Structure 1
Amino acid sequence: MAGDAVRVPLDVLGPAGPYRARNRQPVLDVSGVPVADLALAPDVFVSRAMRALRSARPLPVDRRVAAIARAGELFATAELGGLGPDAYARAVSRVGGIPLAVVRESVGTLARRTAHIHRGLQFARPAGAVGDWRDPLTRTGRAVWTRRGEVLAVHAAGNHPGTHTLWPEALALGYRVAVRPSRREPLTPHRLVLALRAAGFPDDHVVLLPTDHTAGETMLRAADLAYGGDEIIREYAEDRSVLSLAPGRSKILLTAGTDWRQCLDTLVDSVSHHGGTGCVNATAVFVEGDPAPVAEALAERLAQLPSLPPEDEKARLPVQSARSARALESYVRGRAEGARARLGGDGIADELGDGSAVLRPAVFELARPDAPQAGTEVPFPCVWVAPWTREAGTAPLRDTLILNVYTGDGELIDALCAEPTVSNLYVGEHPTYWTDTGMPHDGYLADFLMRSKTVLRR
């Protein structure tokens, strides 16, 4: 993107329409070139916006669902905020350092999820609960699924556009939503809020509030519930009205008797899919037996991925500024002390000559299943391969968003299903990033947003 290109204005999207705040911050691409100007809402504006959300009444459910489906279509196809779909995807690729193909795939995912949002939410609703007190079943007593509040604050992460496919569920459930975008990549939430408004949501139902830390805390305190993955959310993680998104630390277990050569494609794909930037990417592979052949094979395959600028059609690896990449390289080297480097031991930052650097894959072999490095998660394909034994049990596999286990051992599957810190369990030939409509990510977001109450009426 040329240095003299027009910078995209990203205004605050308040309850009375766009607001071009005086305080603005440049949004830089991976080489340090300004791509957009992000307006920052002052604290007093945030307070007024949150009050406006609380005063607004939800649209009827049919209108909400239809508007969200339409918004997904507009997000994928329309010009919004001066950017058509291709210009948006290229800008996000350059700003976030995410391969262009990954951005385009995330657009398709958002369109599909919004098109089926009502169906997806029905998976989360308790089987014994109805959705409205007017349901005839409440005449004899019935649980009714109701909101825990009226206003949700979303403190969005900026590591991947896919983080914005979940919070529209809150709008579908009748919440009014305030989004605080990440300054790292604000283009996606800005576009989505514009799409939701163009599809029929009033301005005082969904707002975009880029803010500093102080105003971000104001936003959180003024909401009934909040969720996200930024530092403000982490500060309030013990508050039951706040849902903090934890790291994925997704893992794969290959038990004895598994022919890992037959599933090597799935292993590689689980590590590198979407550039290794997601919480669903495998960051550790445990092997019952000798881990060395698996580590060697992973290193050989991952080494073939090319170093390209993120907007290249063939790019498959993430890119950051050279300075950030070197800092991450230093961190990984520190964490890898004592491990055997199969790939990336000489460094992972491959500079492109424009101030940016590709984050190349890394594979490290560990000596024992309880090595602390196995819990390390970084935003590029980096995998720790460790031995595992039956004596080690489930302990090394805990604190996992997605665990893919290759086994026919029913007792082991029972134990892993019962393990409360394993959020999702896949058995057999399934990549760790697999998902489908209605499937929970880290539980259902609706588990946090909703509750069931008994209603008995005449």
Structure 2
Amino acid sequence: MLDVDALGPQGTYRTRNREPVATMAGDVVAELSIAPPLYVSRALRAQRSVRALPVHEREAALAKAADIFATGVIAGLDFEGYAALASRISGVPISVTRAGARSVISGVGAAFDAVGPARPTGAVQDWRDERTRQGAAVWARRGEVFAVLASGNGPGVHGLWPQALALGYRVAVRPSRREPLTAHRLVHALRQAGFRPEDAVYLPTDHRGADEMIRSADLAMVYGGQSVIDKYAHDPTVFVNGPGRAKILITADRDWREHLDVIVDSIADLGGVACVNTTAVLFEGDPAPLAEAIAARLSSIAVRPADHDDAVLPTQTLSAATALAKQLAVAAEGTTALLGADQVVAPLSDNCAALRPAVHLLSGPDVAKLNVELPFPCVWVAPWTRGDGMAPLRQSLVLGAITGNDNLIDDLLAEPTIANVYRGGHPTHHTAPDIPHDGFLADFLMRNKGFIRD
């Protein structure tokens, strides 16, 4: 039994209110401390009371933390032990969990370099820069305390918020109860590497505690579904990471057969659970042969337990998997099921099931259906014409454009609700340090201030 305690400004805090953490098979493997709202508010107040560490100390500590996360034994777990347990708890395949955990290592180690592309070329990072004698913009924090309400669909989300530490913020992290281990391991590593307890706190908490975190912090980043988007839509201090609703558009001047590999990879890689996985494919022509080819590829994926090295599909408790299948069946009404809801649930035991891929063919680009995103490989395939325009393509974190039409690329980049455009043979889950996810995090955390000195 692993004790996953809160990590506050005064160190480890084991609360009286603790919750069991079970694997998808139903085995209880850990106990999670649940911090009350009062403790949360006091922790963030303590964070606000300290100044940011000097830049050189932050840079050195982040590099060291990446190494500790990768090689250290933390809370009794080495890297492989942590990844295996996180996979069993979250249901994300072990290979995907390992890859996500490695992306945390690279994200932490490269946090200083990662914020660089977001800084305007005319701005300086330090007012002591000689350019400020003539007047310049200084890149400055918009606050001091940053709260993160993390998701549990893979370790990779924890590779982003260390950029806030690089910029001098003190960070408070609320982990997902679905996967509380990555943030716990990372905050331990940061503290062992030289960050003070006030610089990064780990606060498992309930909804009241989460609301208190957002109230007490200067800025916050939250993950969630449409209800979360709606809740914080008009709050400029909250950066919302919602459903990705990533799409691929193939125009008539391109042969989809030449791009089938990247289409299937975009749908199914990372277990299909990530916000950057493709949920809709639109084709300027008859989409039926394309949908059939996608279904043939996805149906060949073998069902494996999450801890199997060859596992591709995510797992859920049997009851949760059944509920998802029912949700899909309702959403898919009026479509042609090539891989339908009736075959999604693949029992692995009495308590656990893998989620097989789903493929549905639409008669037209129904916006409501194209934007239905579920946490497994699930894709909607529809026709598209120039007359349909941008409407079916909006609200996309990534839009993969397989086209030779330069004007269309201009239109996609001009559409405010499309965050990223990948042209050609690049999967929608592709990432690179210079490519923003939903804008650069530093765009939200920083601002330019005018400054001149003698």
Normalising by the residue count of structure 1, what TM-score does the alignment of the two structures yield?
0.97
Counterpart Cα distance in 2 of 1:140 and 1:30: 61
Q: What does 1:224-303 correspond to in 2, within 5 Å?
A: 224-230=218-224, 235-303=231-299
1:143 to 117, 132, 137: 137
Q: 1:405 aligned to 2:401?
A: yes
Check whether the contact 2:397–2:420 (CA below 8 A) recurs between aligned residues: yes
1:383 to 379, 387, 404: 379
Counterpart Cα distance in 1 of 2:242 and 2:28: 31
Superposition deviation, residue 345 in structure 1: 4.3
The superposition leaves residues 64-106 of structure 1 with CA deviations (integer Å, 9 ceiling, x where unpaired) of: 1221122122112211111111111111111000000001111
In the alignment, which residue of structure 1 is the partner of 2:432?
436
The superposition leaves residues 33-53 of structure 1 with CA deviations (integer Å, 9 ceiling, x where unpaired) of: 111100011222112111110
Amino acid corresponding to residue 253 of structure 1 in structure 2: L
Check whether the contact 2:328–2:341 (CA below 8 A) recurs between aligned residues: no
Amino acid corresponding to residue 26 of structure 2 in structure 1: G
The answer for unaligned runs of 5 or more in structure 2 is: none
The answer for unaligned runs of 5 or more in structure 1 is: 1-6
Superposition deviation, residue 438 in structure 1: 2.6
Check whether the contact 2:347–2:353 (CA below 8 A) recurs between aligned residues: yes
In the alignment, which residue of structure 2 is the partner of 1:321?
317
Superposition deviation, residue 108 in structure 1: 1.6
Counterpart Cα distance in 2 of 1:289 and 1:232: 36
The superposition leaves residues 217-248 of structure 1 with CA deviations (integer Å, 9 ceiling, x where unpaired) of: 12211111111114778633321111111210
Q: What number of residue pairs does the alignment pair up?
A: 452
CA change 1:51–1:234 in 2 (3 A) is farther
Superposition deviation, residue 158 in structure 1: 1.1
Moved more, 347-356 or 194-203: 347-356
Q: Counterpart of 1:143 in 2: which secondary structure?
A: strand
Q: What does 1:96-245 correspond to in 2, within 5 Å?
A: 96-230=90-224, 235-245=231-241
Superposition deviation, residue 283 in structure 1: 0.4
2:337 to 341, 349, 353: 341
Check whether the contact 1:237–1:243 (CA below 8 A) recurs between aligned residues: no
| Runs of 4+ in structure 1 over 2 Å off | 230-237, 344-347
Superposition deviation, residue 371 in structure 1: 4.4
Check whether the contact 1:157–1:229 (CA below 8 A) recurs between aligned residues: yes
Counterpart Cα distance in 1 of 2:413 and 2:144: 34
Percent of matched pairs sharing the same residue: 53
Check whether the contact 2:363–2:383 (CA below 8 A) recurs between aligned residues: yes
The superposition leaves residues 90-142 of structure 1 with CA deviations (integer Å, 9 ceiling, x where unpaired) of: 11111000000001111221222222221111101011100011100000000
1:74 to 37, 61, 68: 68
CA change 1:377–1:351 in 2 (3 A) is same
Q: For the aligned residues, what is the CA RMSD?
A: 1.2
Check whether the contact 1:233–1:242 (CA below 8 A) recurs between aligned residues: no
Check whether the contact 1:217–1:232 (CA below 8 A) recurs between aligned residues: no
